[in-house]
Structures are given as structure tokens and as C-alpha cells.
Amino acid sequence: MTLTEPTGARTGTDTPPPKRPAAPARRRGSVPQGTKKLRRTGWLMVAPSILHIGLWTALPVLATFVLSLTDYNVFDAPKFIGLENYVEVFNDPTFRKATWNTVVYTFWTVPVSMAIAVVIAVMLNQKIRFQNWYRAAFFLPQVTATVAIAMVWLWIFNPQQGLLNGALSVVGIPGRSWLADPDWALWAVILVGVWQGIGMKMLIYIAALQNIDESLYEAASIDGASSVRKFFSITLPMLKPATFFVFVISVIGAFQVFDQVYVLTDGGPANSTTMMTYEVYRSAFQNFRMGMASAQSVFLFAFLLVMTLASRRLTRGDDE
């Protein structure tokens, strides 16, 4: 009698179950439907910012480039003159003087204020009494109107009743006409720029200091490192990204200085304190030469772009 396997039992020769049909291969470069929806949502979210930048930044910049090639005095239609405005800018001794003054102002205000801001930030990052009050006091000039600050410094620099000459007379140093002397007027403006620029830099450095791992300082203390050694071997190297950011925004801000020059010296005496932005103002709103002002603005933009790219290239190795 032959035994037969039950019906439906599996054997080694059973036919395997049918495979599911393979999904159609996605064409190269195609994007999944879900990713497309995410991209559309992202573009919708950034659309207001893009529209704002296009209307209030991109179009004015483009208009500046176009107007720089014209002779335009606001009252008459622009007249195309090619590169004549740029030639005049390069040959203008007043604008060359303004460029030199701006470079000198930037050279002194940026590094000096950054150095002072680092020291103050390290001091105010310690646990001391009235810490928040000190921070607010140093940051206050940054949020105070520049015109109001300039009016206070006008009184400080006053040659007769000014605080600065009064303090110098106490120690037997003769006072000066700080804002009327061509040899000292620019230094007076630089002093105001350094004083006003400390607050924002200090705040950025304090934020960067709070991100430094305390274990680095603990290890240095175990090795017997002094506070000065910790500052130069740990604090400053760890602050390099923040230092680059502070440097770039400080240079841009220094090249855009206008308010304190307008209130303190009006560009004088003898153009000793005139700046690039002040010459743009004079060309546009005093002489009504909008084409020339646009060419000067393009020159300022190119100057800032070159300096920013050079700074980025110099610090690329440190960032990596």
C-alpha cells in the first residue's frame, strides 16, 4: 500500500509563490512626490523674504549701477555718458582724500574696539556682582541714536567748556580745538567711533565665550597654566569664528560712517574728516549729481567686496 502525502502539503518540488510585480524604475533626475511638496512649501515660506530683497535691495542696486553710467540731476531725464563718472571719481582729489580718511578710520576703530571688546567680554563673563548692569552700560552707546551721541561729544570736545580740555588742564596739559584742528579732527572722530563700537562687539564675544567648553580651562589649570596663558592659548583661538564675523561687520560699518561726521565736523576742517559715504551724500543731496553719487557708491561697494573676500581668504585655513 502506497502512502500519499496529504493534499496541499509542501514538497521540495512545489512551485514558488508568484513574485510581486517590480516597481517601475525611477528615471534619473526625477524627484519623489513628497520631496516636491516639501520644496514647494519651502519656496512659499521664503517667498516674502525673496520679494522684499528683490524690491528693496536687488532693484536699488541694479538702478545704482545703471545711474552710475548717466548724467542725472533729479530734475532732468538721465543722459547716458558711459564711464565718465568713474573717470571723474578716480581723478577727484577730494574723493581720494575721503577714501584715505575712511581707510585710516577703519584701520584704527576696528582693531582697537575689537581688542577692548574682547577684554571687557572676558571680564564680564566672570561671576561678578551687577554683571547685567555692567553689560547694559557698555552696550548702551550701541542702541543710542548716533546724533545724540555726537551732540554729547561736541560738548566734550568744546575748546572752552569741554570736559576733555578741562580734564587735561587738571594735569597741566594744554587743551586743543579738537574738531577745528585738521591735525586732530580725524582722531577725535576715531575716538567717538571706537567708544560707540565696543558694545555690539562685546555682546558677540560674550555669546562666543559661553560656548567654550569649561573642561579646556580645567585641563589647563591642572597643567599649571596661568590666566594669561589660558587667554592666549584657549580663549583667543576658540574665538576665531566670532572674531571673523565681528571683523567683517565692523569693517562694513566703519566704511559706512556718516552720522558722527555730519554732526561733529561736517567733513571739515579742510576735508580732513570727510568720508566716502559723506562724499556720496554731498554729490547726491547737495550738488544733485545722482550719477556721480551712484558711481561713488559702486566704488564703495567694490572696495568693501574686495576687503571682505580678502579677509575670508586669509581666515579660511583657521576656519577649517
Please provide the distance, in angstroms rounded to a whole number, between the alpha carbons at the two ends of the chain.
85
Per-residue pLDDT tens over the stretch 9-48: 444 455 555 555 555 555 555 656 668 888 888 899 999 9
pLDDT at 108 over 90: yes
The pTM for the full model equals: 0.81
* Residue 80 to residue 259: CA distance in whole angstroms: 32
> Is the separation of the CB atoms in 250 and 110 below 8 Å?
yes
pLDDT for res 298? 93
Dist. CA 276–CA 299, nearest whole Å: 9
* CATH of 84-319 given 3.40.50.1370, 3.40.50.1860, 3.30.930.10, 1.10.3720.10: 1.10.3720.10
Mean pLDDT score, 237-266: 90
Q: Which grid cell sits at 22?
A: 517590480
Where do the domains of the chain lie?
34-67, 84-319
Looking at per-residue confidence, does 18 or 147 come out higher? 147
The C-alpha angle 253, 258, 261, rounded to 5 degrees, equals 125
Return phi, psi of residue 80, to 5°: -70, 125
Q: How far apart are CA 165 and CA 5, in angstroms?
A: 117
CA distance 294 to 72: 10
Report how far residue 283's alpha carbon sits from residue 288's, in angstroms, rounded to the nearest whole number.
6
Q: Which three cell numbers stand for residue 242?
A: 566670532
Element (H, E) at 71: strand 70-71
pLDDT of residue 2: 47
Distance separating alpha carbons of residues 89 and 238, to the nearest angstrom: 42
User: How far apart, in whole angstroms, are the C-alpha atoms of residue 290 and residue 282?
Assistant: 10
**Percent of all residues in the chain with a pLDDT value above 90, rounded to a whole number:** 41
Q: What is the mean pLDDT of residues 126-146?
A: 87
Would you say 220 and 135 are in contact if contact means Cβ atoms under 8 Å apart? no
* 15-19, 56-60, 165-169, 211-215: the lowest-pLDDT one: 15-19
CA atoms within 13 A on the CB side of 4: 3
pLDDT higher than 90, residue 213: no
Residues 182 and 78: their CA atoms lie apart, in Å, by: 38
Is residue 83 within 8 A of residue 292, CB to CB? The reply is no
What is the predicted pLDDT for the residue at 17? 58
Looking at residue 93, its pLDDT comes to: 93
